[in-house]
Structure 1
């Protein structure tokens, strides 16, 4: 399932109706959460039935489409299920107990409550919220998909307007890809966004750092305005649009870079970093969030599935300390940027880590292939290719690097 997004064009009355639908969806979600807290043993099915009770009790809930009410209950249950999963997995720290929503920004419809025009350029919402017909502005063509394939329709409010998202159930359109037999390991960082095992580096764009001056100026304008005034709302909107631009720049960079990496390589190994724990360091939290490592990792996984390639997360332990040639540990602080080993290997710190990440990824794939059944090996794709790549990689490394003692 993938998502197509269009910008909605309508009248101020329609935008107000969308806001009312979003508030109603938030109200139903919070009511379902309160019902779960007050009644022990409530299931997801019970929350769906409770939405019908809310529709009879509250007129504003009755105005929203029944499937939209059910989608709000499903959102509530997803938060509850995530909390239970964290408890079962014994996640350290807070388990994420479901919280009441205060500023929800979207409302979701299922199969009913909306209809597309014949040219697929307009969408009409038919519930009692009186949203009406909205013009869809975008480059995607919905004619390639049947109406039955659209599982969800979501209205999203952002700082720069309102958007309509279509969740389409369809197989990913695999492009014609030629396998190159190349494999790399990726070590992400703050000085450079990533360094691969071939020594190539990509600079960190630092979108938030570059926009910090403008963001501070806009934030000062917000603080100077009178609370609950129209000028303050305008200033908040300008600040929100600036933040939205930064997030879109970061996403665009991650998507394009991940696509390029997966398209030119058959095997990619990357660090399985716990970004949530890393941002607890107050000195590096802003730079880590600005880099967007988690977003890049998720898009690597997506394009690996789309292109039929392999992307493997590996544990990051000791990848910077171990020597990629002899395997001995060389202790070094973060300020030391060059790896120097007693075996004669002199490498950039990040390149040495990327090589170790690649070797760990290849060994992990080899372990899976050796322990799994024959059917699973065939299901994983070109598994035997990657098992032989480790030997080839070691041979190329030995030919490029000679010990200075020779």
Structure 2
């Protein structure tokens, strides 16, 4: 099965500029592709295929003065922007036809530079690499400092770089993991949730309740 591991990354000012350029290019390709498909639907034309979409908004667009700067970022980032659009369309169609359970999925919308979350994805084809020194090497961006909280169980198949509303950057790795069952144990234990303690086990073990609010209040008092 596939697992996702998220880690905080700390790009330099120069790398932040390159990331902003890559975010912008991915956003433009996504919006251009969505605009073409909407126009085709409004004009009663056939659905624009994935291959034709890639040819128009990436390959041909790079040769025009208006989109020549698309060549300044990794081509994989642009292709993954189209993959995100195709996934959004598949989810929408599956929701409309009832093949997808849960709440209804809205059709894809245009992305804005003012969105709270900016994201792009690198696959193995982009040759991203986790270096021996712990840094994450991304094509046309450089080596990013990563705060590792745990070790990846296997080599990642892709990594998404995310910028949130607070301006923080994260690397989200997708790795393949074997679904191995936990070892069987003969012992059993009962759990009782309480107020003074988070949980009390039948063997007498007491789990202390996390006091997030009190801890935050003490920190706020100290800072003030």
TM-score computed with the length of structure 1 as normaliser: 0.39
2:190 aligned with 1:151:
no
Cα contact 1:32–1:73 (8 A) shared by 2: yes
Question: Contact between 1:8 and 1:135, CA under 8 Å: does it hold in 2?
Answer: yes
Match in the other structure for 1:32: 33
CA distance in 2, matches of 1:61, 1:3: 29
The structure with higher relative contact order (CA 8 Å, sep 6+) is 2
Aligned-pair distance for 1:35? 1.4
Describe the superposition over 1:159-181 as per-residue Cα deviations: whole angstroms up to 9, x where unpaired.
25211111112323543244889
Picking from 50, 58, 62, the partner of 1:55 is 62
Contact 1:114 1:123 in 2 (8 A): no
State the partner residue of 1:41. Answer: 47
Residue 109 of structure 2: aligned partner: 99
SS at match of 2:137: strand
Contact persistence 2:154–2:176 (CA under 8 A): no
| Residue of structure 1 equivalent to 2:19 | 18
Contact preservation (8 Å) 1:5, 1:138:
no
Q: Distance in 2 between matches of 1:4 and 1:92?
A: 25
Partner of 2:89: 80
Please give the residue correspondences for 1:209-220 in structure 2 after superposition, counting only pairs within 5 Å: none
Distance 2:34 2:139 in 1: 27
- Contact 2:22 / 2:77 at 8 angstroms: preserved in 1? no
State how far apart, in whole Å, the 1-side matches of 2:87 and 2:142 are.
Answer: 30
Quote the residue 1:163 is aligned against.
170
Summarize the alignment of residues 135-150 of structure 1 with structure 2, pairs less than 5 Å apart: 135-142=145-152, 144-146=153-155, 150=156
Q: Who is 1:112 aligned against? A: 125
Structure 1 residues 92 and 119: alpha-carbon distance in aligned structure 2, compared to 1, 3 A threshold: closer
Aligned to 1:132: 142
- Secondary structure, aligned partner of 2:128: strand
Deviations 1:78-128 (A, max 9, x none): 11112211221299997512211122511111113343254160112223x
**SS of match in other structure, 1:97:** coil
Q: Which runs of 5+ in 1 are unaligned?
A: 183-204, 215-406
Structure exhibiting the larger radius of gyration computed from Cα positions: 1
Q: After TM superposition, which residue ranges in structure 1, 4 or more long, deviate above 6 angstroms?
A: 90-94, 179-182
RMSD of Structure 2 on Structure 1 (CA): 3.1
Query: For 1:160 and 1:92, how far apart are their aligned partners in 2?
Result: 32
What is the SS of the residue equivalent to 2:169? Answer: strand
Answering whether residue 146 of structure 2 is matched by residue 123 of structure 1, we say no
- Residues 114, 176 of structure 1: alpha-carbon distance in 2 compared, 3 angstrom cutoff: same
Say if 1:52 and 1:176 are closer, same or farther in 2 by CA, change over 3 A: farther
Is the Cα–Cα contact under 8 Å of residues 153 and 166 in structure 1 kept in the other structure? Answer: yes
Higher-strand-fraction structure: 2
Question: How far apart are the structure 1 equivalents of 2:21 and 2:180?
Answer: 37
Flag structure 2 segments of 5+ consecutive residues without an equivalent.
Answer: 41-45, 190-209, 218-224
Using a 3 Å threshold, how does the CA distance of structure 1 residues 162 and 38 change in structure 2: closer, same or farther? same
2:71 aligned with 1:70, yes or no?
no
CA 175–93 in structure 1, closer or farther in 2 if over 3 Å, else same: closer
Structure with more helix by fraction: 1
Question: What does 1:264-279 correspond to in 2, within 5 Å?
Answer: none
CA distance in 2, matches of 1:125, 1:178: 44
